[in-house]
Structure 1
Amino acid sequence: MSTIQTTAPSTDTLGTSAAQARSAVLEELIREDPGRFRVLTGDRPTGRLHLGHYFGTLHNRVRLQNLGVEMFLIIPDYQVLTDRDVADNLTGHVEELVLDYLAIGVDPARSTIFTHSAVPALNQLLLPFLSLVSVSELSRNPTVKDEIAHSRQSAVNGLMFTYPVHQAADILSCKANLVPVGQDQLPHLELTRTVARRFNDRYGDGTAVFPQPEALLSNAPLLLGTDGTKMSKSRGNAIALSADADETARLIRGAKTDAERHITYDPVARPEVSSLVLLAALCLDRPPLRVAEEIGSAGAAALKKTVTEAVNEYLAPIRARRAEYAQDRAFLRRTLREGNERTRAVADATLAEVRAAMNSHY
């Protein structure tokens, strides 16, 4: 991977409109030369991944991988402790994540899957990075505020407060220059860019030790949970990728709709119905308006039948691959072990550069 020079706005706050415009340019650059990019992204091991994850981020990761972009997929096991007193069933959750990744098409030969705790150099970068960020910058980060508001802990711990800087260490340890994010994650990435810029200014001696990673915004669809609220692992309103056909049917049967019989696609006025229409449309690869028109006055029961059949057909090959991989736990562990080894080599080299730049290479 060659380091690219960012041409994105250099202001401290990258607005959504600017990020969207830049993302369109980045997509063109990816098509022209995917090898210039290295991506860091991942999921916390806190439960089963679901359809919201799949259509929101997972599908896009496989797309980028298949285009030839170098992918690092982090399973941030340490970050489970940001909003929980203990990390329950961590080994099991990590293995389930690896299973989901492999089932959807992540290829260990082209994408590196690794865990936070297995890369000491990554976590060591947190200390010098914290010295580059003020307490007020951390306290006003909107994502941290939201996480604190929804924390499962009786008191906020220090790891939660430093979460954005830890995320910067994730990204910069492997010198990722591209990070797929949602709009709500832009403040996190902007802090990472700030850390990279400040380190380069303070220690770079005229050279850039770190790239300033860019945001790749996608037009990810928003799927609601079966209760009409945000689809979430913790709310029990999600359809997991690992769910079988019967569980999927049961969850969709219980999904919230409304009293109007005629099915239309209107996300503002009819969010619950429209989310089900959208889910069917994504699985059928059809426009949601067409799906709604096909169901018409047949009502919510017909809508749910359409959604159930579409989802189960779409997930069938993913479930088959998942079941196959689940029979070979040794392969899962080997995939993770080899990914950890590759990432350690990259992060060790980055830490050596940091030590040299800081004159602490003893």
Structure 2
Amino acid sequence: METATPEARSRELEERIAADPAAFRILTGDRPTGPLHLGHYFGTLANRVRLQRAGAELFIVIPDYQVITDRDVADHLTAHVEGLVADYLAAGIDPSAATIFRHSAVPALNQLMLPFLSLVTVGELSRNPTVKDEIAASRQASVSGLMFTYPVHQAADILFCKANLVPVGKDQLPHQEITRTVARRFNDRYGTVFPVPEALLSAAPLLLGTDGHKMGKSRGNAIALSAGPDETARLIKRAVTDTERQITYEPETRPQVSNLVLLADLCQDRDPHTVAAEIGSGGASALKKVVTDSVNEFLHPIRTRRTALIADRTHLRRVLAEGNTRANEIADRTLHEVRTAMDS
């Protein structure tokens, strides 16, 4: 599988998952910088729910202190953490089976960082295109060491529980490759401790934000899962399109229009060419109405569940406390293995 493309590897992985989902332990997560949005949902969150329901073991890390990789302070951190838990559960994650935990509540994760940093070079970190993109979009005037080493933080988050599968969007593949490099080099140098995790790509293409650029929480161009119908309509109304009235699905030549068509397609679970053909000569106004209606209908049950969840903070905190306890037990065992391997 090493020489195959990421898409080909993902197809092979899907066959293995279908045959034996219990053989897979998944680690994934999101920084608590704000609510999850549709890009998160179609890019990876829907995959997490699907894989958990199939029978894979799911770990979700909330890397709270990593918020300051691209900003000076971590505002409203606890509220954002609890909001993420509400997003996860509203989207369909089963908290009785998943391990949802805060990075800061598991000290062994940071202790794994030092040996992991010794396994990658400055050149490898500086060439990471995802880090370059995040630096360009960051709120800081200069690049911190935390931002620079962020992929190694992710490696610790993934490898501590010996995850062998990570659902990602295509833009996160460079981070995933750093994790694979760390695992291979540690095993080569000290003896086999870690699996080399595979990246499972979402079937959904990368969604653009309302400004025509990558959708992101910090970029003000995302439609949050928790956004109300009116806010959703307002965000879609200001979305970038083009001057052609006929609506078509041509991602290469009409990326902004095609992105809106794709969003309607994903929410309706239909073919984007069919969606575009039905709108036809209705222009951008008709397209945006279809997208708004599609998004609001799709998100309605998620929003309803989230409203009930966010009203019960005690339950959200209990889910985190239970996840923190389990993650600590596993991380302490892994750290002991690492120390034993390095000392022998």
* TM-score tier (shorter): over 0.9
- Residues 91-137 of structure 1: CA deviation (Å, up to 9, x unaligned): 11111111111110011112111111010111110011112222232
For residues 129-144 of structure 1, the aligned pairs below 5 Å read: 129-144=116-131
How far is 1:19 from its partner? 2.1
1:101 to 88, 99, 107: 88
How far is 1:166 from its partner? 1.3
2:305 alignment counterpart: 321
- Residues 83 and 199 of structure 1: CA distance in aligned 2, closer, same or farther (over 3 Å): same
For residues 304-319 of structure 1, the aligned pairs below 5 Å read: 304-319=288-303
- Residues 141 and 278 of structure 1: CA distance in aligned 2, closer, same or farther (over 3 Å): closer
Indicate whether 1:86 and 2:73 are aligned.
yes
Letter in 1 for 2:90: A
1:4 alignment counterpart: none
What secondary structure does 2:218 align onto? coil
How far is 1:299 from its partner? 2.4
Moved more, 118-127 or 269-278: 269-278
CA contact (8 A) 2:170 2:206 kept: no
- Residues 272 and 86 of structure 1: CA distance in aligned 2, closer, same or farther (over 3 Å): same
How far is 1:173 from its partner? 0.5
1:47 to 28, 31, 34: 34
1:148 to 127, 130, 135: 135
Indicate whether 1:278 and 2:265 are aligned.
no
Letter in 2 for 1:99: A
What secondary structure does 2:44 align onto? helix
How far is 1:311 from its partner? 1.1
1:341 to 300, 303, 325: 325
Q: Which runs of 5+ in 1 are unaligned?
A: 1-7
Moved more, 165-174 or 135-144: 135-144
CA contact (8 A) 2:215 2:221 kept: yes
Letter in 2 for 1:258: D
Work out the CA distance in 2 between the residues paired with 1:358 and 1:325.
44
Work out the CA distance in 2 between the residues paired with 1:298 and 1:183.
33
Work out the CA distance in 1 between the residues paired with 2:45 and 2:332.
28
1:69 to 33, 50, 56: 56
- Residues 143 and 278 of structure 1: CA distance in aligned 2, closer, same or farther (over 3 Å): closer
Indicate whether 1:25 and 2:9 are aligned.
no
What secondary structure does 1:358 align onto? helix
- Residues 226 and 184 of structure 1: CA distance in aligned 2, closer, same or farther (over 3 Å): closer
Q: Which runs of 5+ in 2 are unaligned?
A: none
How far is 1:40 from its partner? 0.7
Work out the CA distance in 2 between the residues paired with 1:84 and 1:75.
17
1:190 alignment counterpart: 177
2:242 alignment counterpart: 258
2:97 alignment counterpart: 110
1:244 alignment counterpart: 228
- Residues 309-356 of structure 1: CA deviation (Å, up to 9, x unaligned): 111111110011001111111000001111111111111111111121
How far is 1:194 from its partner? 1.8
CA contact (8 A) 2:250 2:258 kept: yes
What secondary structure does 1:234 align onto? helix
CA contact (8 A) 2:247 2:277 kept: yes
Work out the CA distance in 1 between the residues paired with 2:149 and 2:94.
32
How far is 1:257 from its partner? 2.1
What secondary structure does 1:194 align onto? helix
TM-score calculated relative to the size of structure 1? 0.91
1:350 to 328, 331, 334: 334
Letter in 2 for 1:64: L
CA contact (8 A) 2:42 2:202 kept: no
| Coordinate RMSD, CA, aligned | 1.6
- Residues 255-314 of structure 1: CA deviation (Å, up to 9, x unaligned): 222222222111222222211111111111111111111111222222222111111111
1:298 to 282, 289, 304: 282
- Residues 47-94 of structure 1: CA deviation (Å, up to 9, x unaligned): 121111111111111111111111111111121111111111111111
What secondary structure does 1:114 align onto? strand
Q: State the identity %.
A: 73
What secondary structure does 2:61 align onto? strand
Work out the CA distance in 1 between the residues paired with 2:177 and 2:238.
40
- Residues 6-32 of structure 1: CA deviation (Å, up to 9, x unaligned): xx32xxxx7xx5222111111100000
Indicate whether 1:176 and 2:155 are aligned.
no
- Residues 250 and 185 of structure 1: CA distance in aligned 2, closer, same or farther (over 3 Å): closer
- Residues 188-227 of structure 1: CA deviation (Å, up to 9, x unaligned): 22221221122222221xxx21111111122322222222
1:199 to 138, 162, 186: 186
